[in-house]
Amino acid sequence: MSVVGLVVRVDGAEYFVPTERVGLVAPVREVREGRLVLPRGGLPLADAGGGDPSRRAAAVAIRRGADFVALAVDAVDLADPEAAGRAKPLSVFDAILGEAAEGPSPRGA
């Protein structure tokens, strides 16, 4: 099988993440102040379904420029070209990934 990226599942829909955008895949075990807690730090975390990211099974760190933002998803699989072609594009999540990267808004703003 030729792997071209990942297919992530969110609420029954599939989305394609190309290999060059993938940083890591990790279980969602702890979320604190909008960040996925990892053994050596953390990443901003966005829920792909727009809800509570702590209810998702996994997170995929996705490259945004020089930084990474974790996207909480239900499942992750390797993607061959056929699977990638069937899945929706990652660009669907650009807005929520950008919001997560910027961090939570200060209260009263």
Domain spans, the chain: 5-102
DSSP state of 97: H
Q: Between 2.40.160, 2.40.50, 3.40.1000, 3.40.640, what CATH number should domain 5-102 receive? A: 2.40.50
72-101 pLDDT, tens digit each:
999 999 999 999 999 999 888 887 788 888
19-61 pLDDT, tens digit each:
999 999 999 999 999 999 999 899 999 998 888 999 999 999 9
Contact 16, 84 (CB under 8 A): yes
Q: Give the count of beta carbons closer than 10 Å to the beta carbon of residue 52.
A: 10
Contact 7, 85 (CB under 8 A): no
| CA 60, chain centre distance (Å) | 4
20-31 pLDDT, tens digit each:
999 999 999 999
Contact 94, 17 (CB under 8 A): no
Is the model's pLDDT at 107 over the cut of 80? no
